[in-house]
Amino acid sequence: MLVKLSDGYVRAAVCPPGSTQIEVPDDAAPGLALIVGTRAKTWFVRFRLHGKRHRYALGRYPAIGLAEARALAAAALLKVDRGEDPRAPVVSTVADAWDAFWAVKALTLKHPDHDLSCWRNHIEPHVGTLPLDSLSPLVIDTLQVKWAAAGLGPGQSRPLRLLTGLQGFLMDRDLIAKRFVPRRVARPAGRPLPVPPVAVVRALLAWCEGQGAPGAQLALLALLAARADMVQALRWDEVHDDHLSWSADRMKGARDFDQPLSTAAKAWLDRVPKVHPVYVFPARHGRTEAQIDLSKWTGKSPLAGYRTHDLRAAFATHTQEALGVSPSVIAATLDHSPASMLGVTSRYLKPGPRLM
């Protein structure tokens, strides 16, 4: 249904219950539409070029108001009338290309700050000023050397993914003719998976006794082999007498999972005061889950020098022999699919001293 949009209409527009988004075309500006989602409102202009239909994101409301959106839509359709693609940016350097790419990409991300930080820290300082026609696989080789020297190691998935997305954006708009990110990129081997020794885990659990909510979270990370975000967002309705019930949307493996609680883990949970009706570890304002930076607390603890994620390796290594936990149970606890249990579990299992 076409609607002659007004500032008041746009400001008050909401997504109906049960829907993820609605599209409201503007009767006063052909091609312009407002997409009203559950979290944001975004302006788009629809057009047909060379026989194909396209949709072009102009930006989000209220950063772009109704009058500006109509002006941008009119300018875009004027380019279409001249046979030009309005999405094609005027770019001369990689940084220019990124700005055009990011204006579209950021609209699709729930946490765009993560990718933007990666660009600013690991890509822009090295290639931002390069002209587009200088992009080649040699640039990727050079970047990987610089990333490895900076300690990025095998954690190059995010910058490579961003560059691959930028590459597709540029090729779709005929701004570059050839790929510069090879289809298969050799990534450097990382350090061996570290396993905190039994003594370190025991010292950590003792240290956690007097550290309040951060200590309880670190202790549960060691005893549950869960990911930090799962523990921080733990809800009381997920805690039962002898197990935790993780729903599929909380699991990396995308399946429901009932995790048995050890005596030690149950004891820690029993000591957590129920100060919030929903979250076991609520934020200070009480409306969301905890917002504690556990990495800072880890640096103060006996676990200093390790990451919280390394506790998963400790769980896999020490519990098989000491507690008689089978590899399949370890694999399930570590949230891996049944088809890959043996292969993935072997990645975590390392020789180590007994826990008991």
Number of CB atoms found within 10 A of residue 156's CB: 20
The pTM of this model reads 0.46
Res. 77: pLDDT tops 70:
yes
Containing 320, the helix (H) or strand (E) segment is helix 310-323
pLDDT for residue 335: 54
Res. 348: pLDDT tops 70:
no
Q: How confident is the model at residue 166 (pLDDT cuts 50, 70, 90)?
A: very high
Which tens digit of pLDDT belongs to each residue from 138-162? Answer: 899 889 888 888 877 766 888 998 9
Whole-angstrom distance, CA of residue 272 vs CA of residue 279: 11
Whole-angstrom distance, CA of residue 126 vs CA of residue 213: 41
Which tens digit of pLDDT belongs to each residue from 283-326? Answer: 877 677 777 778 888 888 998 888 887 888 788 777 665 555 56
pLDDT for residue 89: 61
Lowest mean pLDDT among 39-48, 114-123, 305-314: 305-314
CA distances from 137 to 291, 313, 328, 355 (A): 40, 35, 42, 48
Which tens digit of pLDDT belongs to each residue from 177-196? Answer: 889 998 776 666 655 557 88
Res. 20: pLDDT tops 60:
yes
Name the residue with tokens 């550290």: 211
CB distance 209 to 318 below 8 Å = no
Residue 81, judged by CB atoms within 10 A of its CB (0-12, 13-18, 19+), counts as exposed
Q: What is the mean pLDDT of residues 164-185?
A: 85
Res. 341: pLDDT tops 50:
no
Res. 231: pLDDT tops 50:
yes
